[in-house]
Amino acid sequence: MSRPVLVVDDDTDLREALEEVLRDAGYTVFGAGNGLQALEVLRREPVPPSLVLLDMMMPVMDGATFGRQMRQVEAWNGIPVLVFSASANARQVAEEMGACGYLRKPVDVETLLKAVAANKAPEAP
């Protein structure tokens, strides 16, 4: 079984659309509406995701706080994070948090799928 992709975004319609696109492309997908929910998903799931697609501006817990807390847990430290933001400084934010890359919202399906495929962690043998 392939490791899932975790989509973290407070925009429910967008998150569900991203999840659907990724599922249609053959990925197992989990969703979370903010950083706190995403940490709960990480704690609950026995297999860590191969990639976190992370929005930055969210209520309850934003993407930067989630990223810092995720990196403090050894089992999650190596999970690649792809910043997904409408912010003009998405690249800078991604670099500051040690993300593997960034996507500017809105993004087309082809660009999204290429970025996910290029940045997800390799499957264990």
Range 5-119: architecture per CATH: 3-Layer(aba) Sandwich (3.40)
Given this model, what pLDDT does residue 105 score? 85
Distance CA(125)–CA(115), nearest Å, equals 22
What is the reported pLDDT for 122?
76
pLDDT < 70 stretches in the chain: 1, 123-125
Whether omega for the bond prior to residue 106 falls within 30 degrees of 0, making it cis, is: yes
pLDDT at 106: 84
At 1 the pLDDT is 52
pTM, two decimal places: 0.92
Q: What is the pLDDT of residue 93?
A: 83
**Spatial separation of the C-alpha atoms in residues 119 and 125, rounded to whole Å:** 18
The pLDDT of residue 124: 60
CB 6 within 8 A of CB 76: no
Residues 18/53, Cβ–Cβ less than 8 Å: yes
Q: Give the start-to-end residue ranges of the domains of the chain.
A: 5-119
Tell me, what's the pLDDT at 121?
Answer: 82
Rounded CA separation 55/63 (Å): 6
Phi, psi (rounded to 5 degrees) for 75: -65, -20
A 10 A CB-CB count for 4 gives 19
